[in-house]
Amino acid sequence: MRKLTYFVACSIDGFIGDPGGDASSMYRFATEEFLDFLKTEHPETISAQGRTALGIEGLENRWFDTVILGRGSYQLALDAGITSPYGHLREYVASRTIEESPDLHVTILSGDVVGAVRALKAEDGERGVWLCGGSQLAGELLDEVDELVIKTYPQVYGSGMPMFGSGFAVTDFTLDSVRAFDNGVLVRKYSRER
């Protein structure tokens, strides 16, 4: 069974964006040290355009071969004129408002998203599925999340878009590792307790 990993950036207080979903204040933490970590450990989480800019478009995916984005996360790419932000992965977008994909490489999931994710997890393969965002989708898929990789940036938002847009539910995870960077970023990895 393949893992569903919610690999996400958030503020200290657990928000992945401001009330409108904007997380651009976190971009300034993309220092050389942190980018080197991403290039080495999680190259597939760098967008296709970012990989080109960094000259790493040929790097092999390490952990994931599939990405699932929420409608709002995908809209950020569309607003920038990008229809396939992670062309080096199989791309799925969960949306009830996009009727037809604007890109042949992107599959729209408009029905049973949980069932679709269970089917993706049941596929054969060594690499897993990356849940890229957003909040509502993560809340809907909480029971399917096997692993969390949380990039915590040293900022407090006070309010905004929570990591999981869902009702109250206690779900236990075990801390596997923590990596601290000189710029104050922490990357924590957790596994779901079964």
Q: What digits encode the pLDDT tens for the residues 42-90?
A: 999 999 999 999 999 999 999 999 999 999 999 989 999 999 999 999 9
List of domains in the chain: 4-192 (3.40.430.10)
Question: 69 is written with which tokens?
Answer: 């984005």
| Residue 166 CB partners (closer than 8 Å, separation 6+) | 138, 139, 140, 142
pTM for this entry: 0.95
What per-residue confidence (pLDDT) applies to 133? 84
What per-residue confidence (pLDDT) applies to 194? 81
Q: What distance in Å separates the CA atoms of residue 85 and residue 137, rounded to the nearest whole number?
A: 18
Question: 89 is written with which tokens?
Answer: 């992965």
Specify the residue for token string 């080197």: 36
Q: Is 125 exposed, middle or buried (0-12, 13-18, 19+ CB in 10 A)?
A: exposed
Specify the residue for token string 């990789």: 149
Nearest-10 Cα torsion for 131, 133, 137, 138: 70
Q: What distance in Å separates the CA atoms of residue 130 and residue 68, rounded to the nearest whole number?
A: 6
Q: Is 40 exposed, middle or buried (0-12, 13-18, 19+ CB in 10 A)?
A: exposed
pLDDT mean by block of 10 residues, the chain; 194 residues: 96 94 92 94 95 92 97 92 97 95 96 96 96 94 97 97 91 97 97 92
